[in-house]
Structure 1
């Protein structure tokens, strides 16, 4: 592991999801929240952590940054012109503001490999940047009135994928096979056709889940399904789901797989965040079939779900702007453990995670 941008952006890799055998599931009952970065203008839906204790984030106003938890120096301010409001405890680097001509990208996707860090903005034009050492390079641009990219992930250091709303009659899928230097958009001839009103949500950069060569992509809206590729995006099929759908704001907002068979998806309708009917589902056969769980029970609408690492697929956390929920039985039942609101979460280990949302990035410590 090496740093991509010394003193500016720390190396990021895909969220650590070690699939090790664990002790029996815990009964986590509370979470401690420590604010690391606070700024009323901050809006973060793209956050990644690696096993070397680095995290990186990208914001809605074109900024990228990171933090080294092993560094024990003093504060380094995010915005040197406003030291009272923008700060990170211990160690941080943020001072990269990306612009494309006069356009400030709204970053919702973030990933990294040994070849560099990658940030992808929503909207038209879609802008994907590679960040390596002291350079920032635009490696993909797509100009289309319907361009809207939601999530990005990598299979390995050379091969990666990003997905977005349809611009034609299929979901937008772009893939790199050369370490992120070039990206190609898949033809709709090679992808399942969308149904009317099918799109996706750029809520937490968790529309894509990867286990080995297996890839699952969640769609949402009037139709909410799961696209599946067994071979790193060369071939695709699509699976129907029972999650709530029928409106532009309904469907899957987040999907995560613990292994090749066991996965969980969550969402709902963010315009009706109290509703908890048909918004949570699990699969035990790699996404071919899905079962609704915890009907009319918490959690309600949530924008992100993640398996806790090293828990044998039994423990999950769901997070959203109305709070945090925990499951110890693979998602069949849940406990609401905090009203603290965030958009997205990534786990450092089985007790510590980092979450981001509107106005802040925080460290979360989960306790029984």
Structure 2
């Protein structure tokens, strides 16, 4: 959301998307890790806001404000800080990031929208897309592979902005308004954690906030779309869905709430067992209030969730029926590569973390 994000979202958070191909719908047995705890260690500090994390080829990548980005060796923890070329990039916040086998793509929030393509092997940087406009504001970007990616942003015309590339960023095409679900005035997205989009095989889900809290779903990589309503709170400028994660083509979760009322946990998290068509609120008086990200923890067969926000970190071993607060430390985004470890990023810092508890 363009008009409020730069001020209001200076305190928000994002997460990891590593999914197992085995599907678990409604929970049969809870996780065995009832004694789970977390250990957090800061590994990098900088004078930037970091809202995007991703992982590929043994390294975490991050992007933030002032045109700064970098990568962290997952095994050694070695940090390589990098800087985009001088110019407009140095004034932009790069809140969207996507890592593929050979490339890393960075996307700025606000105008101009800039997409940079980085060759992972050499760190060579190339500007591949630029979009100017008073209403231009992109919230999230994901890639299926080296060539095909999608980005989502606030409405700049008469519909939400969705752009796609099928040639590694060389060209980008905007979805026509007539091909998208009907726009609701006041609906937009949140560039809080690069988690407005979730991909699974050919599926893509995009979540919204503001006047409506909807899920937009495409089964064919963004060619055709459907929209689904959710019970997540909406109607205010900073209400709605901030993050989505799908475990497979059926099981998905969303989280968000009201940034202006962060303790409200009555209608801020929900689960779907049918690909996003219907949603059920998760334990309406338990667990986290406002959060900017939620993920299925890898290797837990869809049983475990991790939610992060400015007021801390929460874990569920019961698909959201019950929650345990693990830490009061707030972050913007999280990325996990196993059920035990990952990274957290936020204002001026990145931390590694370990979840202690046997499966």
Q: TM-score scaled by structure 2?
A: 0.89
Instruction: Measure, in 2, the Cα distance between the counterparts of 1:53 and 1:135.
Output: 18
The correspondence for 2:78, drawn from 87, 91, 94, is 91
Contact (CA 8 Å) 2:162, 2:175: kept in 1 or not?
A: yes
Count, aligned residues = 335
Does structure 1 residue 31 correspond to structure 2 residue 38?
Answer: yes
TM-aligned CA distance change 1:18 to 1:99, over 3 Å = farther
Q: Please list every run of 5 or more consecutive structure 2 residues that lacks an aligned counterpart in the other structure.
A: 1-15
The correspondence for 2:71, drawn from 66, 71, 74, is 66
Does structure 1 residue 354 correspond to structure 2 residue 359?
Answer: no
* Deviation at residue 21 of structure 1 after TM alignment: 7.9
Q: Please list every run of 5 or more consecutive structure 1 residues that lacks an aligned counterpart in the other structure.
A: 1-13, 72-89
Instruction: Measure, in 2, the Cα distance between the counterparts of 1:295 and 1:15.
Output: 24
Secondary structure in structure 1 of the residue aligned to 2:178? helix
Secondary structure in structure 2 of the residue aligned to 1:357? strand
Equivalence for 1:113: 100
The correspondence for 1:332, drawn from 310, 321, 328, is 321
Instruction: Measure, in 1, the Cα distance between the counterparts of 2:232 and 2:17.
Output: 25
* Deviation at residue 259 of structure 1 after TM alignment: 0.7
Does structure 1 residue 140 correspond to structure 2 residue 142?
Answer: no
1:38-89, CA deviations, whole angstroms, 9 ceiling, x for partnerless residues?
23x2210011123x43101001221010011334xxxxxxxxxxxxxxxxxx
* Deviation at residue 290 of structure 1 after TM alignment: 0.4
* Deviation at residue 299 of structure 1 after TM alignment: 0.7
Equivalence for 2:188: 199
Equivalence map 1:200-219=2 (5 Å): 200-219=189-208
Equivalence for 1:280: 269
Secondary structure in structure 1 of the residue aligned to 2:91? coil
1:274-309, CA deviations, whole angstroms, 9 ceiling, x for partnerless residues?
111100100000000001111122211000101001
Equivalence for 1:81: none
Equivalence for 2:155: 166
TM-aligned CA distance change 1:134 to 1:353, over 3 Å = closer
TM-align CA RMSD: 1.8
Q: Tell me which of the two structures has the higher relative contact order, counting C-alpha pairs closer than 8 angstroms and 6 or more residues apart.
A: 2
